Structure 1
Amino acid sequence: MPNVLIVDDSGIDRALAGGLLEREEDIILSFATNGREALDQISSTRPDLVVSDLQMPEMNGLELVAALREEHPSVPVIIMTALGSEKIAAEALKIGASGYVPKASLSSHLPQAVRRLFDASSADRLHSRLFHSLQDLDCRFRLQNDPELISPLVDRIQEVLRCLPLGDEAERVRVAVAVGHGLWIAHHHGNLELALNGHWTDSEFQEVAIQQRMESPATERSIELHTVINREQATFTISHEGAGIDVSRLPPDLESQAADRSWLSGFVMIPAIMDEVSYAPAEKKIILVKQAVQARDDDLEFS
């Protein structure tokens, strides 16, 4: 069973997060009150995932993320954010956090974020050595109007990313999650043509998406993922058949808006994880590039 360490100096918030995750029958929980205590526990128990508050005494969430990247790089971290801390959360993503969840909507977002990360982390370890031997890959997947195929495709991408030196397991998971966000953006804002500056709540957004998905022309549209990976870099070109995605239409306060509307979070997470991100509205494409860590530090090993 996966072990999740919840780190928060507030007993109420620890209990809330723990109560939400206890409903997931295959998760074991442990708790810490600050980053320093969390590091001590991680050294002895090695959890599969850390869920941490940002603002804590002794060692805050940002410092904890940095320390984990240095001392335990294979342990992913999800940050819980309070109102007004969105910019710090974005910084946490840049230095290694695997995701963030607003505290105001923990009940609807935390279990989903944890499950998504575990799904992305569950690639068959028996394939690890085989994919480390892969020298290069050039493949295309075309998904019809069926978003249920996005998750298994992300799992497959995570497996083949083993041939790209990324430094550690957590970074490979982060890249796969970012590709997943790109696929959802192409589906929702490309093929379904849902406005980037919409004011839907998350539940309203899902309702509109389901309705749009069942109507023409969305029913006939597909998305394509062209993946090219070698030892130097991975390039993911996501194509769709809807209207071009014009990111200039995103709200100017994107980070704070994404804290309340998780359907915008991909636009924050992708540039925090990928080395290059470009949207080509005329070509109806999203292009994501991740460089091998050996290009930046030859001493790092394959993940």
Structure 2
Amino acid sequence: MMIDTERCGPRPRPAASTDEGPRTPRLLVVDDSEFERRRIAVLLGGFEGLDVGFAPGAAEALEELERDPPDLLLSDLVMPEMDGLELARRVHEARPGLPVILMTAFGGEQEAVRALRSGASDYLPKSRLDKDLTPTLRRALDAFAFDLRRHRLARGMRSQASTYELDNDPELASMLAQVLVDEVAGLGLLDRSARIRLRVALQEALLNALFHGNLELGSELRREDEAAFHAHVAARRVQEPYRSRRIRVRVVLDRRAAVFEIEDQGPGFDVRCAGRPVEPEDLKRVGGRGLMLMRTFMDEVSHNSRGNVVTMTMRLDAGRSPG
């Protein structure tokens, strides 16, 4: 284990993960108290398989995040200038997959809730560091190792086909959008911006199939009265024929492209409308911008003649790189 309690600048890093084996994970500890940094260093003295660095404050930690991102971050909650909650929020925005564990000398459920809502993945009272620090880090590192192996396994995937069938639950549709993005991102062929675009396009397509396809609700109602629109959604989800309708999603994925076919069981729509040029006003329309976003963010978008199936393609061999 490598420990340096005085600085968080560049240091020799273990070799990156290769086919021969994974690299040593790195922990960055953030605390403005030199005493606490040294205490944690002592507690981790026998923790094998971990490269540990220290930062004296949130600003230094953010610099290190840009320069040489760690795999796990352990931060004090109460610090001058920028506290651990704000640091967790910024880390969550910059690197959503980076686990952040917040620790405080004060403890209490209220602080724990605030920490978790800020993007922290765990919470650790300093009064229990002696007992809980090592098992807490071990849990986080076990998850890190699992994700690393899953990522390596996904990079070896050459093709995959799957089918999902959903009822008319908006939350489930949004969750599926993220699951599908994760499947594609596992190939290591999408940068962060491309992952965001893919998620937006998938979510718009799934919610269009749900709201406008299966439930037959128009965009006009949502523009005029958002609350009334969602009241209609809730009502139709338990009424026939809407409640029995399903959304079927077929996915074909390889290292060249990701193809998503989303089918609803509604009456469809006039597909000639889908081919019109994108207008600037489309960006301002609440519920009318879905098709525009899909066409903008995906490489290909097409509909069947009935208008109840949309097929979207994102090419993965166009020079996109992981970020």
**TM class by smaller structure:** 0.5 to 0.7
Matched, 1:184 2:242: no
- Relative distance call for 1:253 and 1:230 in structure 2 (3 A) is closer
Deviations 1:26-48 (A, max 9, x none): 97389xxxxxxxxxxxxxx9755
Question: How far has the Cα of 1:159 moved from its partner?
Answer: 1.8
SS at 2:289 equivalent:
helix
Distance 1:197 1:151 in 2: 22
Distance 1:216 1:281, change over 3 A: farther
Deviation at 1:160? 1.1
- After superposition, give the CA deviation of every residue in 1:147-195 in whole Å (9 maximum; x if it has no partner): 3321331222122103556441331232123112111110111101122
Per the alignment, residue 222 of structure 1 pairs with 246
Structure with the larger helix share: 1
1:46-95 CA-partner distances (Å, limit 9, x unpaired): 75548xxxxxxxxxxxxxxxxxxxxxxx89xxxxxxxxxxxxxxxxxxxx
Hey, what does 2:216 align to over in structure 1? 193
Q: Does the 8 Å contact 1:226/1:237 carry over to 2?
A: yes
Q: Is the 8 A contact 1:164 1:234 kept in 2?
A: no
* CA distance in structure 1 between the partners assigned to 2:277 and 2:232 by the alignment: 23
Higher relative contact order (CA 8 A, sep 6+): 1
Distance 1:192 1:137 in 2: 31
Residues 299 and 314 in structure 2, CA contact (< 8 A), matched pair in contact too: yes
Give the match for residue 233 of structure 2: 209
* Alpha-carbon offset, residue 247 of structure 1: 5.1
Report the AA paired with residue 267 of structure 1: L
What is the percentage of aligned positions where both structures have the same residue?
26
Amino acid at match of 1:28: E
The answer to whether the aligner puts 1:245 opposite 2:266 as a matched pair is no
Q: Does 1:272 align with 2:272?
A: no
The gaps in structure 2 that reach 5 residues or longer are 1-83, 97-116, 118-145
Deviation sequence 1:242-277 (CA, Å, 0-9, x none)? 11133555899864354252x233223211110011
Match of 2:86?
28
Inter-partner Cα distance in structure 1 for 2:252 and 2:309: 15
Q: Please, what is the CA RMSD of the aligned residues?
A: 3.6
Q: Secondary structure at the match of 1:28?
A: helix
* Contact 1:189/1:245 (8 A) holds in 2: no
Matching residue's letter, 1:142: E
- The aligned counterpart of 2:155 is 132
> How many equivalent residue pairs?
191
- What SS class does the counterpart of residue 145 from structure 1 fall into? coil
Report what 2:311 is aligned to: 287
- Work out whether 1:149 is the aligned partner of 2:168: no
| Counterpart-to-counterpart distance in 2, 1:202 and 1:27 | 33
The 3 A distance-change label for structure 1 pair 172 and 252 is closer
Q: Which runs of 4+ in 1 moved over 4 A?
A: 45-48, 196-199, 247-255
Q: Which consecutive residues of structure 1, in runs of 5 or more, have no partner in the other structure?
A: 1-25, 31-44, 51-73, 76-114, 116-123
CA contact (8 A) 2:269 2:307 kept: no
Matching of residues 7-156 of structure 1 within 5 Å: 28=86, 48-49=92-93, 125-126=147-148, 127-156=150-179
- Matched with 1:107 is none
Distance 1:159 1:130 in 2: 13
Q: Which has the larger radius of gyration?
A: 2
Distance 1:161 1:215, change over 3 A: same
Structure-2-length-normalised TM-score: 0.50
1:206 shift after superposition: 1.7
